[in-house]
Structure 1
Amino acid sequence: MVQILFVCLGNICRSPMAEAVMRRKVQEAGLAERIKVDSAGTGNWHTGKPPHEGTRGILKRHGVDDSGIRARQVREDDFHEFAYIIAMDDSNVVNLGRFAPKEHRSEVKKLLDFVPKHLGGDVPDPYYTGNFEEVYDMVNEGCERLLAYIREKEGL
């Protein structure tokens, strides 16, 4: 099974949005038995909480189910379990270094590394900007392109 972990700061806005969007894309592609999707934050402030109301609202507007998603913090074990750890911004990548064991198999990238028009960019944090629609559009395209990358790389 291919496992993907989306990571942001608190795991209540961007990474749970990506988790929910990718779950839907995986389901629609008929790959639910082959790909597992999860999310986590580099901070622990929101552990156990559901996604932010803005995230839940935008997902609902787009018909994306977020049931069962609860915030958690990244763990060292994640680097052994997940083949792909996908961060939302540069600071998340830096912070992931605190959790990463010396040797691991995870491919750590930013979500927008897969989107040519945003290559190398950061997904802005709507917790601060309030722009959940813009973030949803970026996450949706990023997940689409990430899934295509994984399907090709993993032969799915």
Structure 2
Amino acid sequence: MVRVLFVCLGNICRSPMAEAVFRKKVEEANLSDRFDIDSAGTGDWHIGKPPHEGTRNILDQYKIDYSGMKARKVTKPDLQNYDYIIAMDAENAGNLNAMAEHEQTGEIARLLDFLPESDVVDVPDPYYTGNFEEVYELVNKSCEKLLSYICKQENLKKS
């Protein structure tokens, strides 16, 4: 089982969007039985809340399921239990690396590391910008490339 965790600040906008989009791509590749996918935030302000209305609206627009998703805070055991820990921005990645200290963790990377052709390196936070469409476009393209990367690393074949 390949375990993937998406991480942003509050776990209501970017990381749940990435979780839902990535889950759909995994389903379309007929690999659902090979993946465990989740999301979390580095902050605890929204624990237990569903994704932000803007995230829900964009996922509804693209017919992507997010049912049952609730915000949670990333934990130190998450860093050891997940194979790929995908941060939405440099601040999130820095917080994850600081949390990990010198312990063995899964691979920590930024989502846009998988989209080198992008002009931006951090997924903008639509909680502040309001631009959920821009975030969806970045997340969608990056998740496609992330899935290809993981499939290559894990010797998995998409169908």
Residue 6 (structure 2) aligns with = 6
Amino acid at match of 2:5: L
Counterpart mapping for 1:88-107 below 5 A: 88-107=88-107
CA distance in 2, matches of 1:133, 1:36: 26
Q: What CA RMSD, in Å, does the superposition of the two structures yield over aligned residues?
A: 1.1
Specify the alignment match of 1:59 in structure 2: 59
Aligned length: 156
1:154 aligns with 2:154: yes
Contact 1:74 1:99 in 2 (8 A): no
Indicate if the aligned counterparts of 1:115 and 1:142 stay in contact, CA closer than 8 A: yes
For 1:103 and 1:97, how far apart are their aligned partners in 2?
10
The match for 2:17 is 17
Q: Is the 8 A contact 1:113 1:120 kept in 2?
A: no
| 1:146 Cα deviation from its structure 2 partner | 0.1
Structure 1 gaps of 5+ residues are: none
**Structure 2 Cα separation of the partners of residues 89 and 30 of structure 1:** 29
User: How far did residue 153 of structure 1 move?
Assistant: 0.6
Deviations 1:64-108 (A, max 9, x none): 000011100000000111000000000101111342152213100
Cα distance between partner residues in 2 of 1:116 and 1:65: 27
Tell me the equivalent position of 2:125: 125
Tell me the distance in 1 between the aligned counterparts of 2:80 and 2:143: 22
State the partner residue of 2:74. Answer: 74
Unaligned runs of 5+ in 2: none
One-letter identity of the residue aligned with 1:30: N
Question: Which residue of the partner structure matches residue 26 of structure 1?
Answer: 26
Shift of 1:133: 0.2
Letter in 1 for 2:113: D
TM-score by length of 1: 0.97
Ranges of 4+ aligned residues in structure 1 off by more than 4 Å:
none
How high is the sequence identity, in percent, across the aligned residues?
60
